[in-house]
Structure 1
Amino acid sequence: MLQQKGYQYRIYPTKQQQQLINQTLGCVRFVYNRFLNIRKEAWTNSKTSVTYKQTSKMLTELKCEPDYVWLNVVDSTSLQQALKDLDKGFKNFFAKKAGYPRYKSKHNHCLSYRSQCVNNNIAITNGKLKLPKIGLVKIKLSRNFTGRILNVTVSRKATGKYFVSLCVEEEVEIFPNNGGEIGIDVGIKDFYSDSNGDVAANPKTLKKYSKKLA
């Protein structure tokens, strides 16, 4: 069975690589805040919802303008991911799962950006980590993994240290329980799921009988 797992490692970028990582963090924050403002004003002024597809097109056009060509220096998938995160934030807000999206501050104790793996642009090569636009970075491989890298989150802590979190898709073998003890996780979307992979749907009894209760 395929399963996604996360692996976190510390990295040791050179001063030049640190500069590019910091620049990427700034560009991602700029894109997120700019399009949050655009979506917010569109709704305030004309009750118009701006979609992710529209913001993606706007970003492409923005990168062609002379005053914003610096956006082309950093990894493009990280900028697109900022738009996806913003869109997800609005969807969660309208679904009443989260509060209204807030502007990102450069003073957060931990700043991060996420890049997608495209054409093997994220890989472990000769004991180093290859990152989009950054190149080969020294990494402390404290744990080995097998499988396909899906994306990477690069973060800078308040201490100035740099870390990466690799999202890896791995083949996991599920062993039969043979009548032994099992673990059960009770949730909201599903009533419960157990360590054998069995899932029970939520009967939503309260919602079903709420009118009769009233």
Structure 2
Amino acid sequence: MRRTLGCVRLVYNKALHVRTQAWYEKQERVGYAQTSSMLTDWKKQEELDFLNEVSSVPLQQGLRHLQTAFTNFFAGRTKYPNFKKKHQGGSAEFTKSAFKFKDKQIYLAKCTEPLPIRWSRQIPEGCEPSTVTVRLHPSGRWHISIRFDDPTIKPLPVTDKAIGIDLGISSLVITSDGGASHLRDK
């Protein structure tokens, strides 16, 4: 698993370097599609052939996270993306195509043994995992986060109405349509 985290970090940092260099040298933006094709080329290089030993899904997800970081940067929501450091731990995200879920066991792609999981809560009936994120904290502790899709939850109906909510001092809640808090003082 540490090898996977290292490979994700390497791919993220190489892509960040390429994107930064392209901007400073040619004022050219490099997107996810270009970095994804670069990943294919990197995996063919002899000095980077170890990238083939880990699942390609977390590597691609790392590139998607970098794309999101740049999208947020260009929208003014955050600072320029930083390079990932080894001592910060790291994470790897596996989508549905890169793991198998059977009998409350999770088998990641290119791993022979299931993940040793101590479940913190019950899995609701009928729910299937869609994403598994494995994180190594700087303290050395491992954490697994699993996103489940629940088919019983229906989407809310689409509406063109909107309302603002203000938390007040004299009334707990005031809504933009003039309604006051529906909570009664005792």
Equivalent residue runs for 1:41-120 within 5 Å: 41-108=21-88, 110-118=89-97
CA distance in structure 2 between the partners assigned to 1:25 and 1:65 by the alignment = 20
Is the Cα–Cα contact under 8 Å of residues 113 and 154 in structure 1 kept in the other structure?
yes
Q: Does 1:25 align with 2:2?
A: no
- Counterpart of 2:27, as a letter, is K
TM-score (norm 2): 0.76
SS of 1:137's partner is coil
Where do 1:120-139 residues align within 5 Å?
A: 121-123=99-101, 125-135=102-112, 136-139=114-117
Q: Is the 8 A contact 1:114 1:153 kept in 2?
A: yes
**1:139 match: secondary structure:** coil
Paired with 2:121 and 2:42, the residues of 1 have a C-alpha distance of 41
User: Residues 155-194 of structure 1 correspond to what in structure 2 (within 5 A)?
Assistant: 155-173=135-153, 192=164
Q: How far does residue 111 in structure 1 lie from its aligned partner after superposition? A: 2.0
- Structure 2 distance, partners of 1:173, 1:103, is 38
| CA RMSD of superposed structures (Å) | 2.1
Q: Is the 8 A contact 1:121 1:132 kept in 2?
A: yes
Task: Indicate the larger mover: 151-160 or 88-97.
Answer: 151-160
2-structure distance, mates of 1:170, 1:32: 31
Query: Which 5+ residue runs of structure 2 have no aligned equivalent?
Result: 155-161, 166-186
Offset from partner CA, 1:2-58 (integer Å, 9 cap, x none): xxxxxxxxxxxxxxxxxxx10111101100011100000101001111110011011
Dislocated runs of 4+, deviation >4 Å: 190-193
Letter in 2 for 1:141: W
Higher strand share: 1
Structure 1 CA distance for aligned equivalents of residues 148 and 80 of structure 2: 31
Q: Note closer, same or farther for the CA distance 1:114–1:173 as it changes in structure 2 (3 Å cut).
A: closer
* Matched residues, number: 156
Instruction: Describe the SS at the equivalent of 2:150.
Output: strand
Q: What TM-score, normalized by structure 1, do the two folds share?
A: 0.67
Identity over aligned pairs, percent: 34
Equivalent in 99, 123, 130 of residue 145 of structure 1: 123
Whether the aligned pair in 2 keeps the contact of 1:122 and 1:151 (CA below 8 Å) is: no
Q: Secondary structure of the equivalent of 2:69?
A: helix
Structure 1: stretches of 5+ with no match in the other structure: 1-20, 175-189, 194-214
SS at match of 1:42: helix
